[in-house]
A and B are shown apart, each in its own frame.
Chain A
Amino acid sequence: MTKRSLISITDLTKSEILRITELAADFEAATAAANLATQNESDGSMATRGLLQGKVIATLFFEPSTRTRLSFESAINRLGARVIGFSDASNTSVAKGETLHDTISVISNYCDMIVMRHSLEGAARYASEVASVPVVNAGDGANQHPSQTLLDLYSIQKTQGRLDGLKVMMVGDLKYGRTVHSLLEALSHFDTEFVFVSPPELRMPAEYRNLLDRKGLRYTESSELADNIADIDILYMTRIQKERFNDPMEYERVKNTYVLRASMLAGARGSMKILHPLPRVGEIATDVDDSPHAYYFKQVENGVYARMAIICYLLNVKK
């Protein structure tokens, strides 16, 4: 069997993306069925638990990220595999000056798959060349975080019933935000219309606008959040980071311009959902949380199913 890693969303074809979202849906259904069985005091054991019995998966977080690590570890546990790894590289050989090459070569011998996060961009690609087992990129600096993109896609498909023919609004830091770049790349496989809302200094880079031009996909750009919410299917909010601004006063101004409030949602489509990769820092007012449009916490739950799907897909475990 050939070793298959997931480093970048661009590694996946359209049909592979669809297969992974399909698997995620199966895992969600299996989890719901198992929960129901538990309530009915019948056999409560989850059907998915046997899938990776006897496997060991290493979660190597050279850079801490509690949320992503726990989501992966929850997925691994739900599949019946065991987890080894670290959540901080400071107690490992890395702190002694060991190269990434050596760390990965050694740990490859202990496990069937490596899930890793690293602050250096390209670290996961390099690790996948060194490792004898599949590598899943759980974030390499500002570069890629493909499991986030797949969970976003799964959330979109689940809430809208399709990935084709949707109008997606992306709001916030569109220049540096890796989640919006990867999501755009993934959605460019489908017939998507985009609306980009950002301050002019954080607009979507030319590289990504060119990609849409090449694929003949429509997009519009705006600096006003209040515009055009009425016909949007997915409103993808992102955080504007303070460190992107040289002028702190400019940051304060911009930060307050891109805050989504419940009052702005009055004209939205009933099926419109608000997604956010989290953590949020005020760009979605808390009064939105109770709205039927708010989906960002449910999106987190979808992350576990999407990661179960990714792991099984790469390990070639048939359901």
Chain B
Amino acid sequence: MGQDKIMEVRMIENGTVIDHIPPAALFKIISIMGLDRDTEHRMTIGTNLESKRLGTKAIIKINDRHPSPWEIDRIALFAPEARVNTIRNFEVVEKRTVEVPRSIEGFVKCANPQCVTNHETVETAFDVVAENDGNIALKCRYCEKLTKNFGTKFNPY
């Protein structure tokens, strides 16, 4: 397994490996980065792989593509333990943990059907708050209600 992993990483000459993604978040991250419509960059996506930390994990390896800060903020919402590794000349030159942003604009839909953002053309805005159980919730800056399990309210575009 370990040997395979190194070899697979080395398959990328220049690009990014996003590791330690919970499998349930994989397709959200694919959407965030628009990989489902990407016909240009060579990529390998693996899921339900063994992981000591998460039990199972998913991984994305992509050539010649580096996620933007905007994308990393959103990846962190769904995969707060993800590692973003930058590869140059087959070598890992940077290993980064992601950081859950303090606020998020647009992209997530407010769960409250009575919220103004679900009736007017207005970009959503949330403050990221920690729940008692450690989960992340988003507090709408308009209706002030919490959107929990916001992954299920995911609205990428």
Which A residues form the contact surface with B (CB < 8 A)? 8, 99-101, 118-123, 125-126, 140-144, 206-207, 210
27 A-B contacts (beta carbon < 8 Å): A8-B144, A99-B120, A100-B120, A101-B120, A101-B121, A118-B116, A120-B114, A120-B115, A120-B119, A120-B143, A121-B112, A121-B114, A121-B115, A121-B116, A121-B142, A121-B143, A122-B117, A122-B141, A122-B143, A125-B116, A126-B116, A126-B117, A126-B122, A140-B143, A141-B114, A142-B114, A207-B146
B144 pairs with A206, CB closer than 8 A: no
In this complex, how many residues of chain B approach chain A with their Cβ under 8 Å: the count is 17
Question: What's the Cα separation between A142 and B145 when bound, in Å?
Answer: 10
B3 contacts partner chain A, Cβ-Cβ < 8 Å: no
A122 pairs with B144, CB closer than 8 A: yes
Chain B residues numbered 117-135 whose CB sits less than 8 Å from any CB in chain A = 117, 119-122, 132
Chain B residues numbered 129-157 whose CB sits less than 8 Å from any CB in chain A = 132, 140-146
Chain B residues numbered 64-116 whose CB sits less than 8 Å from any CB in chain A = 112, 114-116
Given A101-B121, A120-B114, CB of A125 within 8 Å of CB of B141: yes
B136 to chain A, nearest CB (A): 15
Given A121-B114, A122-B115, CB of A143 within 8 Å of CB of B143: yes
Question: What's the Cα separation between A118 and B120 when bound, in Å?
Answer: 13
Residues of B within 8 A of A118 (CB): 116
Query: Count the A-B residue pairs with Cβ separation under 8 angstroms: how many?
Result: 54
Residues of A within 8 A of B114 (CB): 119-121, 141-142
Q: Which of A99, A121, A206 has the most CB of B within 10 A?
A: A121
Residues of A within 8 A of B122 (CB): 101, 126
Extra inter-chain contacts (14) besides given A99-B120, A126-B142, A141-B143, CB under 8 Å: A100-B120, A101-B121, A101-B122, A120-B114, A120-B115, A121-B143, A122-B141, A122-B142, A122-B143, A123-B142, A125-B141, A140-B143, A143-B144, A143-B145
